[in-house]
């Protein structure tokens, strides 16, 4: 009897743990859903600087340190400095989506590899800071 009660308690706890893990990681977004997303991170110097650090740690092997993907081992990595070359959209939500869920055949999903969605938004800001000045958003103060 005691063992059975313990078993029930344990399965309850495991179910809660499973819920907690999946609550943070909903399934892939559709492109429409992605377009509607609004970044919680201001396009600020602080956010761009944080994004740069994460980019240098996770993204340069394919996109290069300058984002241009020159000499990349994976020939098809997008030149992130030129918005007109993007295949999966250039709104903040679409860029977030490409990083979070992956893009094309070779861009990995980073959903569970970075510190959390906040850092994905910092990456979005860093990437936009690589664009030609006329296509960048105006620099903001931190929210």
Closest distance of CB 62 from ligand HEC, Å: 3
Q: Is 41 a binder of ligand HEC (CB under 6 A)?
A: no
How many residues form the binding site for ligand HEC (CB under 6 A)? 24
Query: Is 104 near ligand HEC (CB under 6 A)?
Result: yes
| Distance from C-alpha of 109 to C-alpha of 141, rounded to nearest angstrom | 30
Q: Torsions phi, psi of 107, nearest 5?
A: -85, 115
| 7, burial (CB in 10 Å: exposed 0-12, middle 13-18, buried 19+) | exposed
Contacts 24+ apart (CB under 8 A), 23-29: 25/111, 25/112, 28/101, 28/109, 29/97, 29/100, 29/101
Judged by CB under 6 A, which of 88, 111, 117, 131 binds ligand HEC? Answer: 88
Candidates 29, 42, 62, 109; binder of ligand HEC (CB under 6 A) is 62
> Does 37 help bind ligand HEC (rule: CB under 6 A)?
no
Q: Which is nearer to ligand HEC, 14 or 85 (CB)?
A: 85
Cα distance between residue 49 and residue 87, in whole Å = 25
Judged by CB under 6 A, does residue 58 bind ligand HEC? Answer: yes
**Chain residues in the site for ligand HEC (CB under 6 A):** 55, 58-59, 61-63, 74, 76-78, 86-88, 95, 98-99, 103-104, 106-108, 110, 123, 127
């Amino acid at each position: 009897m005691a063992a059975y009660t313990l078993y029930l308690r344990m399965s309850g706890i495991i179910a809660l743990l499973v819920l907690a893990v999946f609550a943070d990681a909903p399934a892939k977004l559709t492109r429409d859903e992605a377009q509607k997303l609004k970044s919680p991170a201001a396009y600020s110097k602080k956010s761009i600087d944080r994004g740069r650090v994460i980019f240098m740690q996770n993204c340069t092997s394919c996109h290069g340190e300058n984002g241009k993907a020159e000499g990349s081992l994976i020939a098809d990595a997008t030149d992130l400095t030129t918005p007109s070359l993007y295949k999966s959209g250039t709104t903040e939500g679409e860029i977030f989506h490409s990083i979070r869920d992956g893009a094309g055949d070779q861009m990995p999903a980073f959903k569970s590899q970075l510190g959390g969605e906040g850092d994905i938004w910092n990456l979005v800001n860093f990437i936009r800071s690589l664009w030609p000045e006329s296509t960048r958003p105006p620099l903001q103060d931190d929210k």
